[in-house]
């Protein structure tokens, strides 16, 4: 089954101000230089408050941000600090007295540091229930002191994999003792504060200073415990994903979890009565940090649920066109209503933008504009000033402009269009990715549709063969139809979409809509279909031919393919098959 997890660090950003950071733990060590450096970065801080003794805290961190401030803050509150390696040196250098973990356990580390905190002297102190006399008697019998604060980061496994580490290096960076301490402390949260995020150190110190009520203290500890368990769950999800990638041979994983980090709580979902949020995918497959969910917003109103869907559709379509041919895409309700490339406008991207608007200016108004190239000042001015072709007076209004980059001047010019215009910047997603979609009671997984015209052969099957210009136009139309909701039809000429028909229950109606949008320009144009034509005579193919379309592309594979060929032969129209379907639901 599939479970979806939310990473502790960023989810807490919404509730406790936390941020995602690379974590690691204290128990895993190696004897090589890198491992020694990692080992020396760990700190253990133990806090005890039983029997009137000074409280102790165990801190074991690789991310040392605010580490010394935490140690000082705890000492000022009367806590003893226990630490190890380079972290201990750093704390000592800051003028804070520290005690070795070895002194706590009475046992030296072993197995190149793999076993260090996996010891009753540590876990007994963390897990003992203070209200249970038998627990307290048991740890007293073995001279084990309680531990009331556990601050732990985990080894940077994700970072090691993303940096291209080999299998041995990656496995060595799987944390063992750290998750054990985190989970133990989180389980015993009525008695132990567990902190996994450096951004929470100051919150812990301030909380302790405030002398909270029992109810407020327990609430705070529960929040820290939730964050701790979620942190371990997300960490384990990435480890599992990596190991399956090494042995799965491309098969679906028998079990799957996806770590997600809360990016923002949205005003509402598709409709005002639906609560909503947006998450960034923390899986290794998305380690490059590309895509709309991770975009930088330079300007404008906060993004809505529908804004994210439309921006993703627009940018995905724009990035499907080669960067060697700068392209503008305009989307409304996730369907491209205008597409034009510089190649269809004598190399003029400004004119390509105008062409994209003219394809359907009514739909383009209030839509999303996406580019696969840098937006400069000239392009920004054109977006800001261009008038709607419907009346020649009204400035075009857009919800979002999204591009891979902007020139500084272009960004400033574009900001002047409207206070509400959302200006997004993000890197295009590269390579094959996995697509997950929820259905009632489960999830569907598939590889994303990354097929482009360069990957296939356009096979002529009619008597008339497409000209070189028509073939280029067919490739443009076929690239566009992939991004239109099925049943999908696009009518185009070289580098320019003239009309599209989308989302109709039958293909012939999509053909009629696309031809209507294209108008007189359908004469001599080309047409692409996302799937084969089930009927030809008196249906989609003949209607297109009668409208003046001169070349058609479809996947082929229908039992009536010969009818489509015969119709095209009758009208002198070129017909090609692609051998690939582009359904989009």
Residue numbers annotated as active site: 187, 333
Could you tell me how many helices (H) and strands (E) the chain has, helices first?
A: 21, 22
Residues sharing a CB contact under 8 Å with residue 54, sequence separation 6 or more, in sequence order: 48, 78, 79, 80
The residues with which 491 forms a beta bridge, in sequence order, are 499, 527
Measured distance CA(241)–CA(253) in Å, rounded: 9
Measured distance CA(88)–CA(96) in Å, rounded: 9
Measured distance CA(436)–CA(493) in Å, rounded: 34
Measured distance CA(162)–CA(198) in Å, rounded: 22
Quote the tokens at residue 514.
């696309």
DSSP character for 277?
Answer: E
Measured distance CA(196)–CA(233) in Å, rounded: 13
- Coil/strand/helix, residue 512: helix
Measured distance CA(164)–CA(123) in Å, rounded: 34
CB atoms within 10 A of CB 35: 18
- Alpha carbon dihedral 381, 384, 388, 392, in 10-degree steps, equals -70
CB 153 within 8 A of CB 178: yes
Residues sharing a CB contact under 8 Å with residue 161, sequence separation 6 or more, in sequence order: 170, 238, 242, 284, 287
- Coil/strand/helix, residue 275: coil
Peptide bond into 319 cis (omega under 30): no
| φ, ψ for residue 163, nearest 5 deg | -80, 0
| Sheet strand arrangement including 327-332 | 296-299, 422-425, 398-403, 367-371, 327-332, 335-341, 496-501, 489-493, 526-529, 551-554, 574-577, 459-460
Closest Cα to residue 90, out of 117, 66, 113, 107?
66
CB 151 within 8 A of CB 57: yes
CB 329 within 8 A of CB 356: yes
Instruction: Report CA-CA distances (Å) from 23 to 81, 117, 440.
Output: 20, 17, 35
């Amino acid at each position: 089954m599939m479970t979806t997890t939310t990473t502790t660090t960023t989810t807490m950003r919404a509730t406790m101000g936390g941020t995602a950071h690379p974590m690691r733990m204290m128990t895993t060590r190696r004897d090589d230089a890198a491992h020694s450096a990692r080992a020396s970065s760990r700190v253990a801080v133990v806090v005890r408050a039983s029997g009137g003794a000074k409280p102790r805290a165990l801190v074991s961190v690789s991310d040392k941000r605010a580490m010394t401030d935490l140690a000082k803050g705890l000492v000022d509150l009367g806590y003893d600090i226990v630490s190890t390696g380079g972290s201990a040196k750093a704390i000592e250098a800051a003028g804070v007295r520290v005690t070795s973990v070895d002194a706590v356990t009475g046992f030296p580390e072993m197995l190149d540091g793999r076993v260090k905190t996996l010891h009753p002297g540590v876990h007994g102190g963390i897990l003992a229930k203070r209200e249970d006399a038998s627990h307290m008697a048991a740890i007293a019998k073995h001279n084990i002191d309680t531990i009331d604060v556990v601050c732990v980061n985990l080894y940077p496994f994700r970072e090691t994999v993303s940096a291209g580490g080999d299998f041995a290096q990656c496995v060595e960076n799987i944390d063992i003792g750290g998750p054990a301490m985190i989970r133990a402390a989180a389980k015993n949260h009525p008695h132990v504060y567990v902190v996994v995020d450096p951004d929470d150190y100051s919150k812990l110190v301030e909380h302790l200073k405030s002398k909270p009520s029992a109810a407020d203290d327990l609430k705070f500890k529960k929040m820290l415990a939730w964050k701790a368990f979620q942190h371990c769950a997300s960490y384990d999800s990435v480890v599992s994903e990596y190991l399956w990638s090494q042995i799965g041979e491309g098969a679906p994983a028998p079990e799957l979890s996806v770590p997600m980090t809360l990016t923002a709580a949205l005003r509402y979902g598709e409709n005002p009565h639906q609560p909503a949020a947006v998450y960034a995918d923390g899986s290794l497959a998305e380690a490059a940090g590309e895509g709309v969910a991770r975009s930088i917003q330079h300007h404008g109103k906060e993004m809505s649920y529908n804004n994210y869907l439309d921006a993703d559709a627009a940018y995905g379509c724009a990035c499907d066109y080669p960067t060697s041919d700068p392209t503008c895409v305009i989307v409304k309700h996730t369907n491209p209503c205008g597409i034009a490339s510089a190649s269809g406008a004598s190399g003029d991207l400004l004119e390509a933008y105008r062409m994209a608007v003219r394809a359907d200016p009514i739909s383009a108004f209030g839509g999303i504009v996406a580019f696969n190239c840098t937006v400069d000042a000239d392009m920004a001015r054109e977006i800001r000033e261009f008038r709607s072709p419907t009346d020649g007076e009204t400035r075009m209004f857009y919800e979002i402009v999204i591009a891979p980059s902007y020139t500084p001047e272009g960004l400033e010019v574009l900001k002047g269009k409207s206070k509400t215009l959302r200006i997004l910047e993000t890197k295009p997603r590269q390579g094959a990715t996995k697509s997950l979609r929820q259905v009632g009671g489960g999830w569907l997984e598939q590889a994303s549709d990354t097929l482009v015209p360069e990957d296939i052969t356009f096979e002529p099957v009619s008597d008339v063969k497409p000209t070189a210009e028509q073939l280029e136009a067919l490739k443009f139309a076929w690239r566009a139809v992939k991004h239109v909701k099925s049943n999908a039809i696009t009518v185009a000429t070289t580098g320019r979409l003239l009309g599209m028909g989308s989302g109709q229950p039958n293909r012939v109606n999509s053909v009629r809509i696309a031809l209507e949008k294209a108008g007189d320009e359908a004469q001599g144009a080309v047409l692409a279909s996302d799937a084969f034509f089930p009927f030809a005579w008196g249906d989609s193919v003949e209607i297109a031919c009668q409208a003046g379309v001169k070349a058609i592309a479809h996947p082929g594979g229908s039992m009536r393919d010969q009818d489509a060929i015969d119709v095209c032969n009758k009208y002198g129209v070129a017909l090609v098959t692609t051998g690939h379907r582009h359904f989009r639901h």
